[in-house]
Every structure is written in C-alpha cells, then in structure tokens.
Structure 1
Amino acid sequence: AYSLLLQYNQRELHKLRQKSADFDRNSVSRTYQFRENVVVMRMLFKMAGPFFTTMIPAFVFYVLYISLPKTEESEFVRMFSAAMFDWWIGIVCCLFGLLFPFSDVRFRRVAIRTPIFRSLQQSK
C-alpha cells in the first residue's frame, strides 16, 4: 500500500508538471502538496530500515516473554522482558522522533530554528 501511494503521488506530480504554464492557485497548491507527499514518503522509506533494525531487541524481549513458562521461577525474567520491551519501544520512538527532521535537508533547515534541534546539531 505504501509503494502504491508513493507511485500515485509521483504520477500525479508528473501529470501536474506536464500541464501548460497556465497554473491557477489550485494547481500550484496541488503540485506543492504532491511534492511534499513524495518527500515525506521517501524520507519515511529511508528511515524504515534503521527503525526495524533497532526494533530487533524489542522483538527478542517479546519472544522471551511469551516463550518462557508461567512459573514462579521464570516470572522475574518474564516481567523483566516485558519491562525491557516497553522501555526499548519508548527509547526507539523518542530517538527516531528526534532524528526525523535531520533525515532530509528541507526539514533540517526548519528544525534547526528550534532550540532542541539546534543544540543536537551543534553537539555533533
């Protein structure tokens, strides 16, 4: 579904670019919207690989939680795995939420105006 939506946006953007120079305000805004859709979707696609790679430990914690028997001896490990799963999901989501604006030049220019992203950029 994601790739179909990306192809649709790219196709519509191409159609709008092929029109004559007679643009009204509606076609200009549609062109801008399709361009932004394509940029965001490419950026999300670029971040998908690292995101799923960093989610491997969460998957391991979940498998450990469901595979251990529900006995008193393994209860601590099961609950620790559940807690680590929750913690890991939170850490990864915060990390990627902070890294999202730096994955594309357009968003980086806007993000650098905010204090938190400016301090992150300067700490590199």
Structure 2
Amino acid sequence: YEKASPSTRWILVIVEAANIVPAVLNASLWMLGFIDVAINTAINFVLNNFSRIVYFMTYRKNVMALNEINRGEISFDSYSVARSFQLRENVMVMRYFVSVALPSVAVSFPCFVYFAFHQFGPSEWILPRKITYSLFDLHVILFRLVYLYREITVNDTILKEFKKINLITCLIRFLPHSRRVNPYKDRSESFRAEDNTQSYFDQLS
C-alpha cells in the first residue's frame, strides 16, 4: 500500500481466495451428498468464528499502531505519511464493516428460522415447508434492497464516494434513447488534482 507495489493486488487475491475457496468446497461437498447438513453447518460455524477472530486481531493491530503514531511512540525510521494514512483508512473501513454487519445479523435472523423449518420440519408438511422456503427467498430479496440503501447512506464518506461513481448516469448512458437525446460527455478532464486531494483528506478527518 505504502509503495503502491503490485504485491498489494496479490494480497487482495489471496485474502479473497481464503474466504471463497473453503466456502465453495463446503457447499459443494454438501450439495453433492458427501457430507450431511450437520457437518456442513459445523464447518460454517468454525469458518465464521475463525474469520471473526482474524478480523478482530487485524483491527486491534491497526488500532494499536495508529495509537502509537498519535502518541509519538514510533521510531522515525518506521514512520511515514503513507503508513499513517493507511492505518487511519484501515480503522475507518473496519469500523464501517462492523457497523453494517452487526445490525444485518438481527435483521436476517428470520431467514435462519425459515431454513430450519424447511430443513428439519416433518416430511408430511410439504406445503408449509415450501411456503417457508419462499418466505426465505422473499426476505433475502427485500432485505438486500433495503440494506443496500443503508450501506451506502450510513457513512458520509461512502455516500460521497458512491456519488462520485455516477452509477445512475452510467446506466442511463447505455440506453439507446439516452445516447440519441443527450450524448455522453467525457468529464475526466474537468476533475482537478486538488479536488481529489481534498476528498481524500475529507474521508480521513
């Protein structure tokens, strides 16, 4: 991160692979019938708790390093402006993830009830089990739509960065009618370096 080296990209790939590969293997073994639902649930429980422990340890390490910089307890050779920005950004993003994830657990709790009823309910309750599975899908869809709005608006920095993406404008730009009526204009040259610098400092304040 500090040196803007390509190794940062590989770290991202490794971390995402460590999250995705075990989950895909666990789900595949269950769906193909190699393990039952109890083992699948136990593996998910272990993976989730392990990820929480790693997340907490990473957050604690970043907070301690940031406090050392703020108190001036770090050596001159170990200090750099890029490192201080990196630590502030890490702490801010990790706190944002926690503020988003914890309420989502409570809101999505009915999904676990629907799944448990469908999975462990009496076999003769065919219609109620199908209804609960439909409610599961409906709850997930509505939950994601509502919570996506909350994830964007709960943090001012995230909201500012989302507005900079101009996602709605990009979607409209690909519509044939929009291209005929109002052709897209490249505004990349209109952005000045000081605007980008100011926005970067705003998100760390």
Query: How high is the TM-score relative to the length of structure 2?
Result: 0.46
1:5 to 55, 58, 83: 58
**Equivalent residue letter for 2:101:** A
Partner of 1:98: 149
Partner of 1:81: 132
Give the structure, 1 or 2, with the largest relative contact order (CA under 8 Å, sep 6 or more): 1
RMSD: 2.6
Partner of 2:194: none
**Equivalent residue letter for 2:110:** P
**Equivalent residue letter for 1:104:** N
Query: How high is the TM-score relative to the length of structure 1?
Result: 0.71
Q: What CA distance in whole angstroms lies between the structure 1 residues aligned with 2:156 and 2:76?
A: 28
**TM-superposed deviation, 1:81:** 1.1
Partner of 1:60: 113
Q: What CA distance in whole angstroms lies between the structure 2 residues aligned with 1:105 and 1:21?
A: 33
**Equivalent residue letter for 1:68:** G
Q: What CA distance in whole angstroms lies between the structure 2 residues aligned with 1:48 and 1:108?
A: 17
Structure 1, unmatched stretches of 5+, are 117-124
Name the structure where helix makes up a greater proportion of residues: 1
Aligned to 2:91, what secondary structure does the other structure show? helix
**TM-superposed deviation, 1:42:** 0.9
Query: Deviation string for 1:66-89 (max 9, x for gaps)?
Result: 232112xx1121122122213322
Q: What CA distance in whole angstroms lies between the structure 1 residues aligned with 2:131 and 2:81?
A: 54
After superposing on structure 2, the runs of 4+ consecutive aligned residues of structure 1 that deviate more than 6 Å are 20-24
Q: What CA distance in whole angstroms lies between the structure 2 residues aligned with 1:95 and 1:21?
A: 47
Q: What CA distance in whole angstroms lies between the structure 2 residues aligned with 1:82 and 1:92?
A: 15
Residues matched between the structures, number:
112
**TM-superposed deviation, 1:15:** 3.1
Percent identity over paired residues: 23
